[in-house]
A and B are shown apart, each in its own frame.
Chain A
Amino acid sequence: MDRTVGPREGLGAGIIAIGVLAISMPFAVDALTDTADQAAAILAGMSILLGLFVVIAGLASFRIRD
């Protein structure tokens, strides 16, 4: 029987996608502009960390049960 997915899994996939975006954004901006600033580096690191947590949250929404 074909497995099915519901709105919860869809939302989880969307959350994971936004997390991936948060992780990839610093790399994109770094390639686009010349940012040697220390504050920019800290912000980029925080964005990657934030993205990891968002991806974990998305994965958790796949696993969680009511």
Chain B
Amino acid sequence: MTAASVPQATSARIPLSYVVALVPVGAALNVVGGTINTALQLPTFLDMIGTAVVAILLGPWWGALVGVMGNVGGAFFTGPVGIPFALVNVAGALVWGYGVRSFGMGATPTRFFILNVIVALVTSAIAAPIVVFVFGGATGHSSDALTAAFAQAGQALLAATFASSVIVSLADKIISGFLALAIIDALPAEMSRGLRLPGPTGTGRLVIAVVGVVVGAALIAFYLFITPPAPPA
């Protein structure tokens, strides 16, 4: 095989070995992220980092596969609560994948940041009806306190759930998106050839990723500041 015939990421076709290597790793990353988040009781989800990596590198529908594998596979460890939320993961994969690969939303740090905000809005719009209609408005996540506060302020349950979900998702998707950027930067450059991602490879992109994660962490701090304290047991 000559060098000219080596498949490149720039073409529509990608080597099968990339798919075989990245899809299971992405699903595992989602499960590990979600498990760590649950163990630490963080007001985030962190179960879409692998989805973002694969959706950006391989394509939106491969990302959707990773999302479903992560949530359905994770059900064996954490119970069936996560399975209905696989739809949220699929939606996130489609927005990240098409956003970067078709609409050039990864070209600059600002556009990539906006893409993560769009992901947060879309995923919240899908998650809120699931939380209300499948779980009755509470899933045991730390954002339930914020939902209760919004509902007590007079909002309808669906609107309260959406509002709290947007606040939590905003931080979560910004952190997930920029962590995915750092992971992509750590992978061989051959895999991301042809993709328009923010900053030059190496230290420059890593700095952008760190700044993005810090912004997400600041949003979490803001969330913890506005969340009402839990009532005494």
- Residues of A at the B interface (CB closer than 8 Å) are 1-7, 10-18, 20-21, 24-25, 27-29, 31-33
Q: Is the CB of A7 within 8 A of B12?
A: yes
Contacts of A17 in B (CB 8 A): 64-65, 67-69, 90
Q: Is the CB of A25 within 8 A of B64?
A: no
The proximity string for B residues 60-72 relative to A, scoring 1 for CB distances below 8 Å and 0 otherwise, is 1110110111001
Q: Which of A3, A17, A32 has the most CB of B within 10 A?
A: A17
Q: Is the CB of A4 within 8 A of B16?
A: yes
Q: Give Cα A47 to B69, complex, Å.
A: 18
Q: Is the CB of A14 within 8 A of B17?
A: no
Q: Of the candidates A6, A20, A29, which one forms a contact with B72 in the assembled complex, judged by CB atoms under 8 Å apart?
A: A20
The proximity string for B residues 11-22 relative to A, scoring 1 for CB distances below 8 Å and 0 otherwise, is 011111101000
Q: Is the CB of A16 within 8 A of B84?
A: no
Residue pairs across A and B with Cβ atoms less than 8 A apart, 27 shown, are: A1-B5, A2-B7, A2-B15, A2-B17, A4-B13, A4-B14, A4-B16, A5-B13, A5-B14, A7-B59, A7-B61, A10-B61, A10-B62, A11-B61, A12-B61, A13-B65, A14-B65, A15-B61, A17-B68, A18-B64, A21-B86, A24-B72, A25-B83, A27-B83, A28-B75, A28-B84, A32-B80
B interface: dominant SS:
helix
Instruction: Answer yes or no: B58 CB below 8 A from chain A CBs.
Output: yes
Contacts of B86 in A (CB 8 A): 21
Instruction: Answer yes or no: B233 CB below 8 A from chain A CBs.
Output: no
Q: Give Cα A11 to B83, complex, Å.
A: 21
Instruction: Answer yes or no: B118 CB below 8 A from chain A CBs.
Output: no
For residue B31, give the distance in angstroms from its CB to the closest CB of chain A.
15
Kindly report which residue of chain B lies nearest to residue A16, judged by CB atoms: B65
Task: Kindly count the residue-residue contacts between A and B in the assembled complex, taking CB atoms under 8 Å apart.
Answer: 81
Q: Give Cα A16 to B75, complex, Å.
A: 18
A interface: dominant SS:
helix
For residue B188, give the distance in angstroms from its CB to the closest CB of chain A.
14
Q: Is the CB of A6 within 8 A of B80?
A: no
For residue B19, give the distance in angstroms from its CB to the closest CB of chain A.
6
Within 8 A of A (CB), among B123-145: 134-135
For residue A44, give the distance in angstroms from its CB to the closest CB of chain B.
13
Q: Given A21-B87, A24-B72, 20 more contacts at CB 8 Å?
A: A1-B5, A3-B15, A4-B7, A4-B13, A4-B15, A7-B12, A10-B59, A10-B61, A11-B61, A12-B61, A13-B64, A13-B65, A15-B61, A17-B68, A18-B90, A20-B68, A25-B84, A27-B83, A28-B80, A28-B84
Instruction: Answer yes or no: B1 CB below 8 A from chain A CBs.
Output: yes
Q: Is the CB of A1 within 8 A of B1?
A: yes
Contacts of B60 in A (CB 8 A): 10, 14
For residue B78, give the distance in angstroms from its CB to the closest CB of chain A.
12
Within 8 A of A (CB), among B71-124: 72, 75, 79-81, 83-84, 86-87, 90
